[in-house]
């Protein structure tokens, strides 16, 4: 009888859990049994591992082999345990150097039938968990090496195939540690979208600048062809660059989702997600039998853009209510509850009516009052109340379309946005959209004139308590853009322009 224990890991939600691959080789009828709550891919690893060992010119034990993936109460998914299982079998069969530091090593990767190591998902989360447990030596597929090396204080050994790993452990030929070369990674992508390319719409650009500065959600309404989609796609170019902490945060989400590559191991640019209106609610919020991040989590620290907002299914739109308010989404399943981050700026675009030409200066609307009311009722009051800024995007005149003067660039606007955010972070350690009701009372103080203006506006606009607080947060952002410590009547008046009247929500 021979026993071995090898460290591996699995991903649950966005976090990782260490898994011990326990291998027991004993007398009995030849066979391999895997226990420990594994899925179909884990069960199938029996055949992959056996072929990989034999094709790597190693001996597969002709004994009864029992493999336990502990802890047994955690669901194990995917083929990432292949490498750990293979090493565990060879160690238990005394084919590996017994003095090798297995306790301080972690093995992860899928094996092909010829012994080659294939990449797996969730590497960043697993590396963070390994570091937390003080495991220093990491053996992973070569295609995952650049991603894994982003986590400091770990020794990353890129494995091409099982044969090379066996030779390394036995001291025949060492695998060189992987060194991350920042020069090989493209840190930024030049965007074809820029506010300089958008003619006119200065008032809308101003609203988008305020939204970017304070992290406010925004809804744009206007006729077809007025530039709503173009402005929304250019919005990310005026957002501040991701901090190092945010880069790792976003990249971790994309790693778990399998959206990172060897050439692009990190997400350096703020994500922009634009799901089609036929997308299901599960794809939007995340979930499934084994919950995975949805579009709102993939948009974390970036932008979630819904074009033609009323065309989305009602359950999809209503599913946005919690993440818009809480900046996170809770997914509950029989196996447990997972919380995914969802701190994004939401941009919605819609037409004012089904035909799109209500109140248009050039075309007459052909919709009946009933059709207009039914169209607008697709967007519920509670959802609209969670959107901070409402702005109309009018049709551009021929003169503005053909104007040769170059508009202000995204870089110029982004500089103001970054200065505004710095003011917010220095004052309250968070951006204005994240202020609680208590913090609003502390940082969004009004003078006497502003209080009177707001009092009258509350009655005229039919504001809810949430709408009241949102106006104060928008006014605070406008004041920060003007580098003003105090919110004055001009800031408040502009903020009030971005809230819809009560009857417009019908």
Residues 465 and 401 in one domain: no
In the prediction, which pLDDT does 153 show? 92
Please answer whether residues 76 and 38 qualify as being in contact, where contact means their C-beta atoms are separated by less than 8 angstroms.
yes
pTM for this predicted structure: 0.90
Residue 104 forms part of a structural domain: yes
Same-domain check for residues 202 and 312: yes
- Domain co-membership, 308 together with 217: yes
Radius of gyration of the chain (CA): 28
Is the separation of the CB atoms in 432 and 424 below 8 Å?
A: yes
CATH of the domain at 501: 1.10.8
The pairing of strands 64-70 and 15-26 is: antiparallel
Q: Can you tell me the distance from the alpha carbon of 3 to that of 164, in angstroms, rounded to the nearest whole number?
A: 23
The confidence score (pLDDT) of residue 59 equals: 96
Q: Is 225 in the same domain as 331?
A: yes
Beta bridge pairs of residue 117: 111
- Same domain, yes or no: 53 and 133: yes
Residue 186 lies in a domain: no
- The answer to the question of residue 189 being in a domain is no
- Number of domain units in the chain: 3
CA distances to 19, 23, 58, 210, 277 from 88, in Å: 13, 6, 13, 57, 48
Instruction: Return the C-alpha torsion angle 45, 48, 50, 52, nearest 10.
Output: -140
Tokens matching residue 143: 């295609």
pLDDT at 503: 41
DSSP 3-state helix, strand, coil percentages of the chain (rounded to 5)?
40, 20, 40
Buried b (16+ CB within 10 A) or exposed e, 217-238: bbbbbbbeebbbbbbbbbbbbb
- Residues of the chain whose pLDDT is less than 50? 184-186, 188-190, 502-506
Task: With respect to residue 185, please indicate whether it lies within any of the assigned structural domains.
Answer: no
pLDDT at position 502 is 42
d(CA 125, CA 14): 7
The pLDDT, as a whole number, for residue 398 is 58
Q: Are residues 262 and 348 in the same domain?
A: yes
């Amino acid at each position: 009888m021979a026993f071995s224990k090898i460290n591996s890991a699995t991903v649950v939600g966005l976090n990782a859990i260490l898994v011990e691959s326990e291998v027991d080789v004993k007398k009995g009828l030849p066979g391999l049994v895997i226990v420990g709550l594994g899925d179909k891919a884990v069960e199938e690893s029996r055949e992959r591992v056996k072929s990989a060992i034999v094709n790597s010119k190693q001996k597969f034990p002709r004994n009864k082999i029992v493999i336990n993936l502990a802890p047994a109460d955690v669901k194990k998914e995917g083929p990432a345990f292949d490498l750990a299982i293979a090493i565990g079998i060879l160690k238990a069969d005394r084919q590996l150097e017994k003095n090798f530091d297995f306790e301080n090593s972690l093995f992860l990767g899928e094996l092909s039938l010829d012994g080659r190591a294939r990449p797996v998902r969730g590497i960043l989360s697993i590396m963070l968990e390994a570091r937390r447990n003080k495991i220093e030596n990491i053996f992973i597929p070569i295609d995952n090496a650049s991603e894994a090396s982003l986590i400091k204080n770990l020794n990353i050994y890129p494995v091409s195939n099982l044969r090379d790993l066996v030779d390394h452990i036995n001291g025949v030929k060492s695998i060189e540690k992987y060194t991350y070369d920042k020069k090989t990674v493209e840190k930024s992508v030049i965007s074809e979208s820029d506010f300089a390319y958008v003619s006119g719409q200065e008032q809308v650009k101003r609203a988008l600048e305020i939204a970017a500065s304070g992290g406010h959600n925004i809804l744009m309404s206007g006729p077809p062809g007025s530039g709503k989609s173009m402005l929304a796609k250019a919005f990310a170019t005026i957002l501040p660059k991701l901090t190092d902490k945010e880069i790792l945060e976003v990249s971790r989400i994309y790693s778990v989702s399998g959206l990172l590559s060897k050439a692009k191991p990190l997400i350096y640019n703020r994500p922009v997600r634009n799901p089609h209106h036929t997308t299901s609610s599960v794809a939007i919020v995340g979930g499934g039998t084994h919950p995975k991040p949805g579009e709102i989590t993939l948009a974390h620290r970036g932008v979630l853009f819904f074009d033609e907002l009323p065309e989305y299914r009602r359950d999809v739109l209503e599913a946005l209510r919690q993440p818009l308010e809480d900046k996170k989404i809770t997914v509950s399943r029989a196996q447990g509850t997972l919380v995914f981050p969802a701190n994004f700026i939401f941009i919605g675009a819609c037409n004012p009516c089904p035909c799109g030409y209500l109140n248009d200066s050039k075309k007459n609307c052909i919709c009946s009052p009933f059709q207009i009311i039914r169209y607008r009722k697709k967007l519920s009051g509670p959802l609209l109340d969670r959107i901070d800024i409402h702005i109309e995007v009018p049709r551009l005149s021929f003169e503005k379309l053909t104007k040769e003067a170059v508009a202000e660039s995204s870089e110029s606007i982004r500089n103001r946005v970054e200065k505004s955010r710095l003011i917010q972070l220095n004052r309250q350690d968070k951006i204005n959209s994240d202020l609680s009701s208590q913090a609003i009372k502390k940082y969004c103080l009004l003078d006497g004139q502003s209080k009177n203006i707001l009092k009258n506006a509350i009655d005229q606009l039919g504001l809810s308590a949430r709408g009241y607080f949102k106006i104060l947060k928008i006014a605070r952002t406008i004041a920060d853009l003007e580098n003003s410590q105090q919110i004055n009547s001009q800031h408040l008046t502009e903020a009030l322009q971005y809230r819809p009247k009560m009857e417009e929500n019908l």
